[in-house]
Amino acid sequence: MKRVYNNFIKNSAGEVFPRVLPKVISRVISRVISKSLPISGVFFVMVFGIFLNSCSLFVKEKIILWTDQPEAAAYVEYFNSLHNFSKVEICYKENILKELSDIKKQPAAQHPDLVMGYRLNSLNSSENYRSLDKLLGDDKIDPKNFYTGILSTGRENGRQMLLPVSFNLPTLIFNRKINEKVSSITISLDEIKNLCKEFNKTQGSHLKKLGFSPFWNEDFIYYVAVLFGNSFSKREEGNINVEDAKIKDAQNYIFSWIKEINGGYKIERAFTEKYINVPMYKLVDDGRILFAFISSKDLLSIPEEKRKDLTFRWLSYKDKIPVEDDILYAGISAAAENRRGAEIFMKWLFTPSVQKELIKINHFKRLNIFGVCNGFSAFKKVTEREIPNESQMFLGHIPPADFLIFPEPKPADWNSTKERLISEWFVDEKK
C-alpha cells in the first residue's frame, strides 16, 4: 500500500480507499486482546467496517463506460477481476456519437465517466471530453509507445483529449495460388490492375471471370481518392476540405480501369448483376473473381475452412497505406462523476503488458477478433510483437509503420457525407 494523504491509502492498482478502516480494526484487536471490549462490540465494529468498505462516501466505486464495442465487455470483465474498489459498468451505445451529442438530455446519474468508440474525434473535444495531458509521461502513459502520427488525431488546440486504442486497414483478399505474384505485404493499385488484366476472361461479349471492380465497394473508391492525396480534413466551419485536382486524378484512374481493363461499364455491370450475389470471399475461392475488398477487422469473420485457401495484402499506392477512418478512441467524459476511477482505467488500458493480456483474452474467450478490440493496437511494439504471436495469420503481415497514413478528423455525419460525395464524383459521373 502507498499512502497518498492522511486519511486515504492507494493500492498497487491505483485505487484509493479510506485509511480509517484499518485504524478501526487495529483498535478493536487491541481492545479484544486487553479484554476491554465485549464480543458483541467486535461484531458491531466488523459490520461497521464492511459498511465503510463499500460506502461511496469515501470512494465512488462505479465507473460508467459508454462504448460501441461489444468486445469491450471481455476487457471490462478482466479489469473488474483485478480491481477490488474500482468496478466498470459497461453501457453499449450503438450510435455513440449521437448519444454523446445528446448527453445533456439524459439524467446526470446516467452520464459516462469513460467513453470508447469509433471516430470520437469527430465531436468538439473541449465540450465532450476532459484533457488527458496529465496522464501522459514517461512514468505514466508513455507517448513513445504509440505509432508516430496517431496521437495527434486525438489532439485539439494542443491538448490531448482522446487516446487512440486501435485501427484497421483496407485489405484485398485473394487465393493463395497467386501468392508468389505479390511479393510484398502490400498490394498497389497498379499491381491489382495488372493482375486483373491477366485474370479477366470473356466469352463472346460477356465476362466469365472478372478480377475486380472498384465499383463493388464504395469504400475502395474512397481510399483510392485518399491515396491520390485527398485528406478530406474537417474545416473549422464543419465542411470538408477537398482538392478538386486530386479528385480528378482519382476519377481518371478508376474510369480508365473500368474501360481498359474490365471492358467498359456495360459489360462489367452485366457480370456484377449475374454473379455478385454471394459473399465475395466465396467468389474468390471459386475462382470467379480474383480479389475481394474488405476491412482488416472482417478478416476473422471469414469461415476458417475458407481462410486456409486465402491470403491478403494491405491496399497501397506509392508505399502508402491509408488507415481507415474508424480509429477506436478512449477518453474521459466531460460529464464524468468519477474522474479518478476513469483515470485508473485509462492508465490500466494503455499499459503494454495489459494489452498483451487483452490480445490473449481474444483467443481464450474465442471472440473471433484480433488485436485490441478487433484492430491493430495503437502501441507499435504491441502490434509488431504480440498480434502475430496470438494470430498466426498476421505473421509476416504487420504493416510497415512508415507506410501508414493516419486520417484527419471528420465531421460526425461523415459516413452519410462520404456516401453522397462518392456518388456525385464517381457513380453519377460514370453514368
Q: Stretch 311-334: mean pLDDT, rounded?
A: 97
- Mind listing the pLDDT tens digit for each residue in 361-386? 998 888 899 999 999 999 999 999 99
Comparing 154 with 45, the larger pLDDT belongs to 154
Q: How far apart are CA 65 and CA 116, in angstroms?
A: 7
Q: In the predicted model, is pLDDT for residue 24 greater than 90?
A: no
| 326 SS3 class | coil
Q: Is the separation of the CB atoms in 310 and 289 below 8 Å?
A: no
On the question of a common fold for 62-167+325-399 and 170-322+407-430, the answer reads yes
User: How confident is the model at residue 51, as a pLDDT?
Assistant: 44
User: How confident is the model at residue 38, as a pLDDT?
Assistant: 58
Distance (Å) of CA 283 to CA 197, 266, 310, 382: 17, 21, 11, 34
| 340 SS3 class | helix
- Mind listing the pLDDT tens digit for each residue in 337-355? 999 999 999 999 999 999 9
- Mind listing the pLDDT tens digit for each residue in 207-235? 999 999 999 999 999 999 999 999 998 77
**Mean confidence (pLDDT) of the chain:** 88
In CATH terms, 170-322+407-430 corresponds, of 3.40.50.300, 1.10.3720.10, 3.40.190.10, 3.40.47.10, to: 3.40.190.10
Place of cell 477487422: 297
- Mind listing the pLDDT tens digit for each residue in 70-102? 999 999 999 999 999 899 999 999 999 999 999
What's 402's DSSP letter? G
User: How confident is the model at residue 8, as a pLDDT?
Assistant: 42
Q: In the predicted model, is pLDDT for residue 44 greater than 70?
A: no
Contacts of 13 (CB under 8 A, 6+ apart): 82, 83, 84, 86, 344, 348
Q: How far apart are CA 304 and CA 393, in angstroms?
A: 11
Mean pLDDT lowest among 37-51, 117-131, 202-216: 37-51
Q: How far apart are CA 32 and CA 36, in angstroms?
A: 6
The kind and range of the H/E element at 179 are: none
Contacts of 140 (CB under 8 A, 6+ apart): 347
Q: In the predicted model, is pLDDT for residue 298 greater than 50?
A: yes
User: Could you give the residue ranges of the DSSP H alpha helices within 116-217?
Assistant: 125-128, 189-199
189: phi then psi, degrees, rounded to nearest 5: -60, -40
User: How confident is the model at residue 10, as a pLDDT?
Assistant: 54
Q: Is the separation of the CB atoms in 173 and 331 below 8 Å?
A: no
User: How confident is the model at residue 34, as a pLDDT?
Assistant: 54
User: How confident is the model at residue 237, as a pLDDT?
Assistant: 67
Beta strands in 68-122 (DSSP E): 87-92, 114-118
Q: How many residues does the chain have?
A: 431
- Mind listing the pLDDT tens digit for each residue in 251-263? 999 999 999 999 9
Comparing 1 with 123, the larger pLDDT belongs to 123
Q: Stretch 27-55: mean pLDDT, rounded?
A: 49
* Fold assignment, 62-167+325-399: D-Maltodextrin-Binding Protein; domain 2 (3.40.190)
Instruction: Place 57 in a pLDDT band, splitting at 50, 70 and 90.
Output: very low
**DSSP states of 8-62:** EEE-TTS-EEESHHHHHHHHHHHHHHTT-S-HHHHHHHHHHHHHHHH-TTT---E
Dihedral, CA atoms, 366, 367, 368, 369, nearest 10 degrees? Answer: -130
Residue 301 burial (10 A CB sphere; 0-12, 13-18, 19+): middle
| 67 SS3 class | strand
- Residue ranges per structural domain of the chain: 2-54, 62-167+325-399, 170-322+407-430
**CB neighbour burial string for 242-266, b if at least 16 within 10 angstroms, e if fewer:** eeeebbebbbebbeebbeebbbeee
- Rounded to a whole number of angstroms, the distance between the first and last alpha carbons of the chain is 70
Comparing 378 with 8, the larger pLDDT belongs to 378
Q: How far apart are CA 270 and CA 193, in angstroms?
A: 20
User: How confident is the model at residue 199, as a pLDDT?
Assistant: 97
User: Could you give the residue ranges of the DSSP H alpha helices within 218-351?
Assistant: 218-227, 244-256, 265-275, 280-286, 304-307, 339-349
User: How confident is the model at residue 21, as a pLDDT?
Assistant: 45
- Mind listing the pLDDT tens digit for each residue in 167-216? 999 999 999 999 999 988 999 999 999 999 999 999 988 999 999 999 99
User: How confident is the model at residue 104, as a pLDDT?
Assistant: 84
User: How confident is the model at residue 15, as a pLDDT?
Assistant: 54
What's 346's DSSP letter? H
User: How confident is the model at residue 240, as a pLDDT?
Assistant: 85
User: How confident is the model at residue 39, as a pLDDT?
Assistant: 53
Q: Stretch 159-171: mean pLDDT, rounded?
A: 98
What amino acid is encoded at 287 in this protein?
G
Instruction: Place 155 in a pLDDT band, splitting at 50, 70 and 90.
Output: very high
Q: Stretch 115-131: mean pLDDT, rounded?
A: 93
Q: In the chain, what percentage of residues exceed pLDDT 70?
A: 84
